[in-house]
Amino acid sequence: MKRMTIVQAINNALDIMMAEDERVFLLGEDIGHMGGDFGVTRGLWEKYGDERVRDTPLSEAAIIGTAVGAAMVGMRPVPEIMFSDFLGTCYDQIVNNAAKMHYMFDGQFKSPIVIRTATGGGFGGGPHHSQSVEGWFMNVPGLVIVAPATPADAKGLMISSIENDNPILFLEHKALYRVRGDVDESKYSTPLRKAAISREGTDVTVVASMKMVHESLAAAAELAEEGISVEVIDLRTLRPWDEETVFASVRKTGRAVVANEAPKMGGLGADVSAAISEECFSALKAPVRRVCGLDAPIPFSVSLEKLILPGKDDVKQAIKAALA
Amino acid sequence: MDVLLDLYRDMWVVRAFELGLEREFKKGNVPGMLHTGLGQEAVQAAIAQSLRHTDAFFPDHRCHGLLVLAGTPGEKIMAELFGKATGVCSGKGGSLHSADPSVGNFGDNAVEGSMMATALGVALAYKMQKRDDLAAVIVGDGTSGRGEWHESLNLAATWKLPVLYCCVNNGYAISTAVGKAHATENLYEFACAYKMPSIQVDGNDIVAAHKATEEAVDHIRKGNGPFFIEYKTWRWQGIFSGEFRPDDEVHYWREEHEPIKLAQQHLISSGIADAAQLEQIKAEVEAQVEDWITFAKDSPAPDPAKATSNVYVGWEIAAR
């Protein structure tokens, strides 16, 4: 075990996979000698060279298209899109090409790519460096969305993602990059489509993702002092998400709050809460509540940004409302 | 047999396939939309002749004939266009997504130019895998307006990737003339800007189109990086509401500069074949195409289980 940040944990996963499998290669903007905008690929260019750690021009569609094409002929590319806000420039490649190929060619091609991208707000990045984009992709059959919240999961999920045969959007929350945790230095994998129970509880279930896992855990710790027992579930895979774990928890607690940072309308929170209402209605003692970003872009000023993004206090409030 | 006679037969495969398909489409037997390659037979024959099964090619919307020339049995392509179980993608892809990796056919993409980015990846992988195969991508003139066109040319040139760009310039993107919407009517000039070797060739002259394609492929196989060919041609099909081009233009391309007629004149005047032989080739191909159509018509609809299979690799999707 070693204390690592999420940046170091993902770097470690990439290093392990590149050392083990020469089909794995990286491409993206400034990922080579610079090591990426957030340092996730630091040291890999020195170790694996220009061929396998490719600096690209600002051509996001070509980055994803290149990854898809290489994956079609047996490679395991891990493209990086510097900020998830930029995924709009390669949306077509992801949605119409990577995600549909296996289906429309009836299994004759696969597109095993892992698109790494920095996402989320909370650091004054402004409207085009702060968004949570999972909602843009929730409606895309064939695509997998992975979103770790801890260093150990970040590493294990990255290894599982590279080994998986489906196209994967791997969301790395910027506010979590420096979160530290114990990470096994050897190779291990964390299962996809399997949520983690981050904290066990009996009164209410909070279904969270990425930074909202930490906000929810902080809320749960404070509410424990008031005698409220909160179960926190970290979805880890957002699409397709782990209905089994979520439903079992909600049937146990009878109350559910869904917490994610993206805007409320049409997002992950909408899908999870609707599914809980459909499948667990008879077990519910209160309406399912959502804690999400407000339906607004992310403003630059940190004082304004705080008003848009959800946090610990919003989770506490929703839990109390569910218990009222 | 002379390669030109082969090419002549190939041109007839494209012609007869599309004429048969168009007839069936008008009868309501072919679902969806139809983009035919009529008028572009020489381009398709030339490209197919120069590629091998270990190469990858990304066809454009008008390449039904080329898919057959690449080596997929004609009935499997026809059945795919009819949406049948026996189609090359079990009826799930249709006209624009009829892939067959066994012959190097990597499938079209309805979003024009998308495959120009995908082709980069195939070419890069082949280079990393130390193969001397190439990735060919066939695009229309209208695609030169897409961002991926420029991203692809730039990266292929910068990384010296084995990509063959086959630009089929038929003068119009649906109804919009090339010159009306682009900075140039000569699309090879875009390649020049990216410092990529290129050639503009008469796409209705099978001899010239064949020679240019062979030379481009040879250039790429020698490890020299990408090559761009602009084939000047013309499509018979108008727009969905009918013919919109001037009469003299239609006359020129359909009567005076029609690719099969030009090939016939060349074959006969150079003594490679006589009129009777050429007529026999046409009749043989036409009969074959009718067999493919019959096969497609008689084939069953896809198994309902196909509707939900292969969404993910290894995972099932939820039932309704």
Choose the closest CB to A69 out of B118, B147, B306: B118
Q: Is the peptide bond before B300 cis (omega within 30 degrees of 0)?
A: no
d(CA B96, CA B32): 10
Is A173 labeled as catalytic in the residue annotation? no
State the nearest Cα–Cα gap between A203 and chain B, in angstroms: 29
Whether residue B313 and residue A102 make contact (CB cut-off 8 A), yes or no, is: yes
C-alpha distance from B40 to closest chain A C-alpha (Å) = 25
Q: How many CB atoms lie within 10 A of CB A47?
A: 11
Please judge whether A110 and B125 are an interchain contact, meaning their C-beta atoms are less than 8 angstroms apart.
no
User: B1 burial class (0-12, 13-18, 19+ CB within 10 angstroms)?
Assistant: exposed
Rounded to whole angstroms, the Cα distance separating B111 from B89 reads 19
Alpha helices in A190-289 (DSSP H): 211-224, 243-253, 268-279
Residues of A in contact with B309 (CB under 8 A): 106-107
Amino acid at A235: L
Residue A302 structure tokens: 């940190």
Residue A11: pLDDT band (50, 70, 90) is very high
CB A62 to CB B155 under 8 A?
yes
B90–chain A nearest CA distance, Å? 7
Across the interface, of B90, B155, B311, the residue whose CB is closest to A57 is: B155
Longest dimension (CA), chain B: 66
- Chain B residue numbers with beta carbons less than 8 Å from the beta carbon of A77 are 121
Asked if A70 lies within 8 A of B56 by C-beta distance, the reply is no
Q: Annotated catalytic residue: which of A33, A102, A128, A129?
A: A129
Mutate to test the interface with A, among B100, B120, B160, B165 (most CBs of A within 10 A): B120
How far off is chain B from A167, nearest CA to CA, in Å?
A: 9
Enumerate the domain spans of chain B: 3-291
Say how many CB pairs under 8 Å bridge A and B. Answer: 142
pTM for the whole structure: 0.97
* Residue in A closest to B86 by C-alpha: A106
What integer pLDDT is reported at residue B319 of this predicted model?
85
Q: In what order do the strands lie in the sheet with A24-28?
A: A53-55, A24-28, A76-83, A114-119, A168-173, A144-146, A237-239
Locate tokens 């005076």: which residue? B256
Test A57 with B154 for CB contact under 8 angstroms.
yes
What is the SS3 assignment for B36?
coil
Residue indicated by tokens 């791997």: A170
List per-residue pLDDT tens for chain B, 320 residues long. 689 999 999 999 999 999 999 999 999 999 999 999 999 999 999 999 999 999 999 999 999 999 999 999 999 999 999 999 999 999 999 999 999 999 999 999 999 999 999 999 999 999 999 999 999 999 999 999 999 999 999 999 999 999 999 999 999 999 999 999 999 999 999 999 999 999 999 999 999 999 999 999 999 999 999 999 999 999 999 887 789 999 999 999 999 999 999 999 999 999 999 999 999 999 999 999 999 999 999 999 999 999 999 999 999 998 88
What token pair was written down for B98?
């009829």
Q: Say yes or no for a CB contact (<8 Å) between A62 and B117.
A: yes
Q: Do B114 and A70 touch (CB under 8 A)?
A: no
End-to-end CA distance of chain B: 57
User: Three-state SS across B139-190?
Assistant: EEHHHHHCHHHHHHHHHHHHCCCCEEEEEEECCEECCEEHHHHCCCCCCHHH
Q: How far apart are CA A36 and CA A46, in angstroms?
A: 13
Whether B312 sits inside 8 A of A142 (CB atoms) is: yes
B48 close to B13: Cβ distance less than 8 angstroms: no
Residue A62 DSSP symbol: H
From the list B107, B52, B54, the residue with the least C-alpha distance to B77 is: B107
* Stretch (H or E) spanning B229: strand B227-232
A95 contacts on B by Cβ (under 8 Å): none
Is A17 buried (19+), middle (13-18) or exposed (0-12) by CB count in 10 A? buried
Q: Which residue of A has its CA nearest to B152?
A: A62
Who contacts B285 (Cβ-Cβ below 8 Å, separation ≥6)? B9, B12, B13, B16
| Residues of A engaging B, defined by a Cβ cutoff of 8 Å | 25, 51, 56-57, 59, 61-62, 64-75, 77, 92-93, 96-97, 101-110, 112, 141-142, 144, 164-166, 193, 240
Which CATH superfamily, name and number, covers B3-291? Thiamin diphosphate (ThDP)-binding fold, Pyr/PP domains (3.40.50.970)
Q: Which of B111, B122, B317 sits opposite A70 (nearest CB)?
A: B122
C-beta of residue A123 within 8 angstroms of C-beta of residue A298: no
Apex B22 CA angle, B19 and B26, nearest 5 = 140
Contact B89 A104 (CB under 8 A): yes
User: Please, what are the domains in chain A?
Assistant: 2-183 (3.40.50.970), 196-323 (3.40.50.920)
Closest-approach residue (CA) in chain B for A62: B117
**Percent of chain A predicted with pLDDT > 70:** 100
Which of B107, B109, B313 has the CB atom closest to A110's CB atom?
A: B313
Tokens 């920095």 belong to which residue? A118
Q: What pLDDT, in 10s, does the model give residues A51-108?
A: 999 999 999 999 999 999 999 999 999 999 999 999 999 999 999 999 999 999 999 9
